């Protein structure tokens, strides 16, 4: 048996985090339900298993074994008869293939990383195709042949994608430039060749969906399916596309738009459950005829009463299923069209989707949507998309699936996944392909841009690029495009900043500023600069540049006047956007006061400037007065991040120079209270603790969770107080005491639920008070905190405490739901709890509090709650349907399309799902460089600013909703929702869950 301590030493984890290994290392028969849950939680994070049904994963947890191997260990050799199947949990392994009997001749053709699986030859007892050698210390999950065959027989459909090797042999035959779409394994935008690559046999799930819809139409609106005459020809038992869309939109609130309904019908069309009478492969919202598969036969039977009743019961679930997979089908349908046949709506949908693909995120609408062709490769592992040495004719982007990059003599040099692109180099250099591209898996989807279009794109981009140079170096790069508003401009073109030096970007925006517009009519491009300049030209550098930009009296008077007016305009917008943050910077305050004096002096010489003086004076006065007032109060924050009466006060925004009184614990659970600024660094916190303790030895500052997980904080980390988990605490200790740190008893959380107090509160009151508190937290988040959070607050030395607390509120509500359910011992009360949480979620959705709405639904889908099958079985079907509908809004497919469609229809005020906004900004930040050739990548700034403006839009109106009736226990509800107590240890919650409902054997 393997020691978890040895594993922890290799992986760098403590023994607490190797808990799942202890469970997996037991004999299968000895594993308890709790063991299975712990293993399950770990395996859910492994890519190889993410598509697996929960019951299959549970079976794997029961029969799998844990293996850990040092570097250089041969797992098995080419030609051996296999006995086991493996999945890689950590580390990596080389796949070596030899064409001779001598193993010394073996060449590494690829490397298997985390999430890959191999060893499928055990299904038919064929010899191993390759030799597998560990490249580094690796952890594997092993399943013996007998158990694996049993799983394969039972779960063949969802396991099929794993059972081909992650390496392939390229198809033989002479070179042919880029495998073009007429080959057997590809379908492209030629409609004639697509049909055979759509599913010939509909899946059971979609077949059932088609039957439910047909039966529901026949029982609710039978006139929709009837014989139709058109151009003297009779079409038997048909529906009209427009009528199908009309009917579907009347049936469910989950169908928001006609475009969405088209995608849902397209799902049925792709699988042959619904067919166009002329075999067209796109569903259209037009007077076109479609026929259900059941109606293809003569005298198709009408549904019986029993079938009609079942269809009506299943209709909402069916529509929900189709609404989740419809967007993918709709996207495929659009991309299969010839580029010239795509409508403006089609192009908009493609553009929105392609923005989230790394390879295309920086391209303009024309480039992204005009020239792409959609292709599918259906036969994996033996197909080379193109071979090394062939002429390059296309550029590819991976929409779905993955490919290996293979070089002769070296084998697989890397693997490309969804969002990656390849084939560009041969087109740019007009050179042969430098490598072969081999499919790794079934059903890979690609976008293809052919050489002619690619060259046109390059020419268009270059032709529309304007470069300003100084000393032979680019200092400003602009993109020229037709102006949509040429009547108000002397030019028929507009120029968008792509990149440049900070000074030249500022200079450009000042030159292009329109002085005839009102200050409230914000210029989006200027707003991008004002929001994002902190990334590339902080206030300490910007303020002197602005002072120098006013010009001098020696210059021509009209030029000086307009120039000064532009600078004043920019300063007003800058001060407005930065708001309270300016009060934290003495240099910025001094600049504002100096700027006002300078403009006042200029106004004596140039009277026209007097019109802008009152507004400037107002901003300067308010900012200076607020700063002085803030310094006098010098707010001291108690430990308001977890407990305390101050949670009942209305939230005030936390600033970097606010001070905090905070407990820092020692290994013996004594503590010292320190007082430091919110933005203090870890180094400063340790110094303050050392002064109190009188200790001179090297100390570590540790974030210790309730589960015992330890994170040693880096000396340059700042504002760490607000980043602790719900029940986390800060500990300080010498390095040799790190292992001895144990959580405080108070970190465990409550031992009894609060059902007794909150079951008497109305769901609507609870949702209303939660929304009030969430709005206070959300309103305190400064726009710049999103930028500091994304780029790293340590780079700005600014706190993101308001953002941290708002994000933590999401976790708190999620854990509150899990805690209350897991601490409720009585089955009937647990069912009541589920109903109450679903009601609260529904009211949060009504109040447009999507942050708490998502938190509640995610709490209910946590494994500790979702596994309580007895509880869920007793939940009334009405509430199950509500929950399913709510869950569908959380569907992450197509970049959370369901959520984005919902939000797009809402008017402010809105409390958005903040983790998704942060994810969007992080995606943009990680996928785009901040500087390109030493110039600021302003395209990246623009994309991030667009996300920040979503927050601005959500808060553009105040939250003023009132509860429907005045509640007698209003103060109790307010106090309750602001002081939730939760368990944040998933293992503890899992234990409570198993005590409530032990696993059925």
pLDDT in tens, 797-821: 899 999 999 999 999 999 999 999 9
Burial level of 662, CB count in 10 A (0-12/13-18/19+)? buried
pTM of the model as a whole = 0.69
Q: Are 248 and 216 in contact (CB under 8 A)?
A: no
Give the closest residue to 559 by CA, choosing from 613, 614, 515: 515
Q: Which H or E element spans position 753?
A: none
- Tens digits of per-residue pLDDT, 605-628? 888 788 888 888 888 888 777 666
Q: Give the per-residue pLDDT at 914.
A: 94
pLDDT tier at 644 (50, 70, 90 boundaries)? very low
Which tops the pLDDT comparison, 647 or 549? 549
Q: What is the pLDDT of residues 682-713, one digit of tens each?
A: 999 999 999 888 876 789 999 999 999 999 99
Going by pLDDT thresholds of 50, 70 and 90, the confidence category of residue 997 is very high
List of E strands, 177-232: 186-187, 226-230
Q: What is the pLDDT of residues 471-490, one digit of tens each?
A: 889 999 998 877 665 444 44
Weakest mean pLDDT among 92-101, 143-152, 282-291: 92-101
- Can you give the pLDDT at residue 183? 32
Q: How crowded is residue 119: how many other Cβ atoms within 10 Å of its Cβ?
A: 24
Q: What is the structure's pLDDT at 715?
A: 92
Residue 981 has pLDDT above 90, yes or no: yes
Cα–Cα distance for residue pair 76/802, rounded to 1 Å: 54
Question: What is the residue whose two structure tokens read 């869309």?
Answer: 245
The lowest-confidence range among 112-121, 342-351, 847-856 is 342-351
Burial pattern 736-755, b for ≥16 Cβ within 10 A else e, equals ebeeebebeeebebeeebeb
Q: Take residue 132 and report the two structure tokens written for it.
A: 């597998």
Q: How many CA atoms lie within 13 A of 63 on its CB side?
A: 17
958 or 194, higher pLDDT: 958
- Six-digit token pair at 386? 């193109």
- In the chain, the percentage of residues whose pLDDT exceeds 90 is 32
Q: Comparing 952 with 296, which gets the higher pLDDT?
A: 952
Cα angle: 679, vertex 683, 686; to 5 degrees? 105
Mean pLDDT estimate for the chain: 81
DSSP assignment letter at 155: S
b (16+ CB within 10 A) / e for 946-978 = ebbbebeebbeeebeeebeeebeeeebbbebbb
Q: Which two tokens stand for residue 596?
A: 């006002």
**Which of 952, 955, 948 is closest to 918 using CA atoms?**
948
Tell me phi and psi for residue 446, to 5 degrees.
Answer: -130, 155
Which range of 106-115, 451-460, 777-786 scores highest in mean pLDDT? It is 777-786
Q: Give residue 672's pLDDT.
A: 92
Per-residue pLDDT at 298? 78
Residue found under tokens 């200079």: 507
**What is the rounded average pLDDT of the residues 579-604?**
84
Give me the pLDDT at residue 490, please.
Answer: 47
pLDDT score at 358: 59
Q: How confident is the model at residue 181 (pLDDT cuts 50, 70, 90)?
A: very low
Task: Decide which of 92 and 199 is more confident.
Answer: 92
Rounded Cα gap, residues 214 and 230, in angstroms:
23
pLDDT at position 274 is 92
Q: Rounded to an integer, what distance in angstroms lies between the CA atom of residue 726 and that of residue 989? A: 15
Cβ neighbours around 697 below 10 Å, total:
10
Residue 356 has pLDDT above 70, yes or no: no
Higher pLDDT, 733 or 369: 733
pLDDT of residue 115: 73
Residue tagged 């459950």 (tokens): 273
Structure confidence at residue 257 (pLDDT): 82
Query: What single-letter DSSP state applies at residue 934?
Result: T
Higher per-residue confidence, 612 vs 189: 612
- Residue 722: DSSP 8-state: G
The model's pLDDT over 403-415, given as tens digits with 9 standing for 90+, comes to 888 877 677 788 8
CA separation for the pair 901, 898 (Å, rounded)? 5
Taking the C-alpha atoms of residue 489 and residue 358, their distance in angstroms, rounded to an integer, is: 34
Pairing of strands 931-932, 935-937: antiparallel
Q: What is the pLDDT of residue 733?
A: 92
What pLDDT does residue 10 have?
41
Rounded average pLDDT over 630-642: 49
Q: Which residues share a beta bridge with 636?
A: 659
Q: What is the pLDDT of residue 21?
A: 80
Alpha-carbon distances, residue 289 vs 227, 303, 784, 919 (angstroms):
10, 22, 54, 43
Dihedral of CA atoms 388, 393, 394, 395 in degrees, nearest 10, equals 60
Q: How far is CA 328 from the centre of its chain?
A: 17
Look at residues 814, 915, 920, 832 and name the one whose alpha carbon lies nearest to residue 871.
832
Q: Which pLDDT band, with edges at 50, 70 and 90, does 198 fall under?
A: very low
CA distance 47 to 802: 34
The reported pLDDT for the residue numbered 593 is 86
Local confidence band at 156 (pLDDT 50, 70, 90 cut-offs): low
Beta bridge partners of 276: 290
Residue 510 to residue 88: CA distance in whole angstroms: 56
Residue 999: the pLDDT is: 80
How far apart CA 381 and CA 750 sit, in angstroms, is 54
Mean pLDDT: which of 3-12, 272-281, 346-355, 937-946 is highest?
937-946
Beta bridge partners of 143: 85
105 sits in the region (left: phi over 0; alpha: psi -120 to 50; else beta) called alpha
pLDDT at 180 over 50: no
* 202 vs 14 pLDDT, higher one: 202
Q: Is 46 left (phi over 0), alpha (psi -120 to 50) or beta?
A: beta
Going by pLDDT thresholds of 50, 70 and 90, the confidence category of residue 760 is confident
Does residue 786 contact residue 912 with C-beta atoms inside 8 Å?
no
- Specify which residues 494 forms β-bridges with: 481
Q: Which of 251-255, 351-355, 628-632, 635-639 has the lowest mean pLDDT?
A: 635-639
* Confidence grade of residue 963 (pLDDT, cut at 50, 70, 90): low
Q: Taking residues 953-957, report their average pLDDT.
A: 94
DSSP state for residue 392 in the 8-state scheme: P
Mean pLDDT of 957-983: 81
Contacts of 60 (CB under 8 A, 6+ apart): 43, 49, 52, 141, 143, 151
Tokens of 935: 């110039």
Per-residue pLDDT at 366 exceeds 60: no
Sheet with strand 84-90: strands edge to edge: 65-69, 138-144, 84-90, 117-118
Over residues 742-764, mean pLDDT: 90
State the Cα–Cα distance between residues 888 and 898, nearest whole angstrom. Answer: 7
Predicted local distance difference test score (pLDDT) of residue 520: 55
Confidence band, pLDDT 50/70/90 cuts, at residue 134: very high
User: What is the distance between the alpha carbons of residues 129 and 100, in angstroms, rounded to a whole number?
Assistant: 13
The mean pLDDT value for 22-43 works out to 80
Banded pLDDT at 958 (limits 50, 70, 90): very high
The pLDDT score that the predictor gives to residue 372 is 61
Find where tokens 């302003």 sit: 938
Rounded mean pLDDT, 43-47: 72
Which residue has 């606010």 as its token pair? 658
More confidently predicted of 77 and 462: 77
Q: What is the rounded CA–CA span in Å between residue 204 and residue 212?
A: 12
Domains located in the chain, CATH noted: 14-160 (2.60.120.10), 204-336 (1.10.10.10), 347-459 (2.60.120.10), 636-747 (3.10.20.90), 754-909+957-996 (1.10.840.10)
Using CA atoms, how far apart are residues 419 and 417, in angstroms rounded to an integer?
Answer: 6
- Collect all residues with Cβ–Cβ distance below 8 Å to 359 and sequence separation of at least 6: 397, 419, 420, 421
Instruction: Classify strands 436-439 and 493-500 as parallel, antiparallel or unpaired.
Output: unpaired
Above pLDDT 70, what percent of the chain?
A: 82
Q: Would you place residue 640 in the very low, low, confident or very high pLDDT band (cuts 50, 70, 90)?
A: very low
């Amino acid at each position: 048996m393997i020691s978890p301590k040895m594993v922890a030493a290799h992986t760098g984890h403590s023994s607490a985090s190797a808990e799942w290994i202890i469970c997996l290392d037991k004999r299968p028969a000895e594993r308890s339900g709790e063991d299975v849950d712990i293993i399950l939680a770990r395996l859910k994070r492994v890519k190889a298993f993410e598509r697996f049904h929960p019951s299959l994963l549970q079976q794997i947890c029961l029969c799998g074994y844990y293996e850990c191997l040092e570097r250089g260990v041969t797992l098995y050799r080419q030609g051996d008869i296999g006995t086991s199947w493996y999945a890689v949990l950590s580390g990596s392994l080389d796949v070596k293939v030899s064409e001779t009997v001598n193993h010394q001749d073996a060449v590494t053709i690829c490397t298997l990383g985390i999430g890959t699986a191999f060893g499928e030859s055990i299904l038919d007892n064929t010899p191993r195709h390759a030799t597998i050698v560990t490249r580094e210390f690796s952890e594997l999950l092993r399943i013996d042949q007998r158990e694996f065959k049993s799983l394969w027989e039972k779960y063949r459909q969802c396991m099929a994608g794993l059972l081909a090797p992650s390496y392939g042999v390229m198809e033989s035959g002479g070179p042919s430039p880029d495998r073009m779409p007429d080959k057997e394994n590809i379908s492209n935008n030629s409609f004639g060749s697509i049909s055979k690559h759509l599913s010939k046999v509909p899946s059971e799930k979609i077949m059932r969906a088609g039957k439910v819809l047909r039966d529901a139409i026949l029982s609710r609106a039978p006139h929709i399916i009837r014989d139709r005459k058109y151009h003297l020809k009779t079409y038997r038992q048909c529906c009209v596309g427009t009528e199908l869309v009309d009917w579907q939109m009347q049936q469910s609130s989950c169908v928001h738009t006609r475009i969405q309904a088209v995608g849902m019908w397209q799902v049925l069309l792709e699988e042959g459950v619904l067919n166009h009478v002329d075999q067209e492969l796109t569903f259209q919202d037009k007077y076109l005829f479609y026929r259900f598969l059941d109606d293809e036969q003569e005298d198709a039977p009408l549904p019986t009463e029993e079938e009609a009743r079942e269809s009506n019961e299943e209709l909402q679930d069916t529509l929900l299923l189709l609404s989740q997979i419809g967007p993918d089908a709709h996207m495929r349908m659009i991309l299969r069209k010839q580029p010239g046949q795509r409508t403006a709506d089609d192009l908009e949908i493609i553009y929105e989707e392609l923005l989230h693909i790394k390879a295309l995120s920086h391209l303009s609408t024309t480039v992204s949507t005009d020239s792409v062709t959609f292709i599918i490769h259906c036969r994996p592992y033996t197909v080379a998309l193109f071979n090394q040495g062939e002429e390059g004719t296309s550029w590819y982007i991976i929409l779905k699936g993955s490919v290996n990059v293979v070089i002769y003599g070296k084998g697989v040099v890397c693997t490309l996944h969804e969002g990656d692109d390849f084939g560009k180099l041969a087109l740019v250099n007009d050179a042969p392909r430098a490598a072969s591209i081999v499919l790794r898996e079934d059903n890979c989807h690609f976008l293809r841009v052919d050489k002619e279009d690619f060259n046109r794109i390059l020419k268009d981009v270059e032709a529309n690029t304007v470069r300003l140079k100084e000393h032979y170096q680019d200092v400003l790069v602009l993109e020229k495009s037709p102006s949509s508003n040429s009547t108000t401009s002397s030019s028929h073109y507009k120029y968008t900043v792509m990149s440049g030096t900070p000074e030249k970007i500022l200079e450009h925006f000042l030159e292009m500023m329109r002085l005839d517009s009102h200050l409230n009519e914000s210029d989006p491009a200027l707003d991008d600069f004002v929001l994002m300049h902190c990334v590339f030209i902080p206030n300490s550098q910007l303020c002197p540049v602005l002072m120098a930009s006013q010009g001098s009296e020696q210059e021509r008077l009209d030029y000086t006047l307009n120039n000064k007016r532009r600078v004043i305009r920019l300063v007003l917008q800058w001060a407005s956007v930065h708001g309270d943050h300016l009060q934290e910077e003495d240099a910025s305050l001094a600049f504002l006061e100096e700027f006002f004096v300078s403009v006042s002096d200029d106004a004596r010489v140039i009277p026209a400037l007097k019109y802008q003086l009152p507004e400037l004076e107002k901003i300067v006065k308010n900012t200076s007065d607020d700063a002085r007032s803030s310094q006098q109060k010098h707010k001291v924050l108690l430990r308001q991040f977890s407990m305390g009466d101050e949670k009942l006060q209305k939230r005030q925004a936390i600033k970097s120079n606010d001070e905090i009184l905070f407990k820092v614990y020692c290994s013996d659970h004594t503590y010292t209270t320190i007082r430091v600024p919110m933005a203090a660094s870890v180094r400063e916190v340790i110094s303050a603790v050392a002064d109190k303790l009188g200790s001179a030895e090297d100390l570590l500052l540790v974030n210790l969770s309730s589960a015992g997980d330890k994170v040693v904080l880096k000396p340059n980390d700042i504002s760490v107080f607000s980043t602790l988990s719900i029940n986390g605490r800060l500990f300080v200790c010498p390095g040799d005491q790190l292992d001895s740190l144990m959580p405080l008893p108070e970190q465990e959380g409550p031992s009894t639920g609060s059902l007794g107090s909150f079951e008497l509160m109305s769901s609507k009151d609870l949702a209303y008070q939660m929304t009030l508190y969430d709005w206070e937290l959300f309103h305190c988040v400064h726009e710049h905190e999103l930028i500091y959070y994304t780029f790293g607050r340590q780079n700005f030395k600014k706190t993101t405490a308001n953002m941290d607390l708002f994000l933590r509120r999401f976790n708190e509500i999620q854990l509150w739901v899990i805690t209350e359910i897991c601490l409720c011992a009585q089955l009937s009360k647990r069912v009541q709890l589920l109903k109450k949480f679903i009601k609260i979620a529904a009211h949060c959705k009504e109040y447009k509090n999507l942050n708490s709405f998502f938190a509640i639904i995610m709490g209910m889908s946590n494994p500790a709650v979702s596994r309580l099958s007895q509880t869920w079985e007793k939940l009334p079907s009405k509430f199950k349907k509500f929950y399913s509908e709510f869950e569908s809004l959380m569907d992450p497919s197509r970049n959370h399309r369901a959520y984005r469609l919902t939000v797009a229809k809402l008017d402010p005020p809105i409390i958005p799902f903040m983790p998704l906004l942060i994810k969007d900004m992080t995606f943009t930040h990680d996928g785009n460089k901040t500087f390109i050739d030493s110039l600021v990548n302003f395209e990246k700034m623009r994309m991030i600013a667009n996300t920040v403006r979503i927050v601005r839009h959500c808060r553009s109106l105040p939250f003023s909703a009132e509860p429907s009736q005045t509640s007698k226990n209003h103060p109790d509800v307010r106090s309750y929702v602001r002081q939730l107590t939760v368990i944040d240890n998933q293992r503890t919650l899992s234990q409570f869950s198993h005590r409530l409902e032990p696993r059925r054997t």
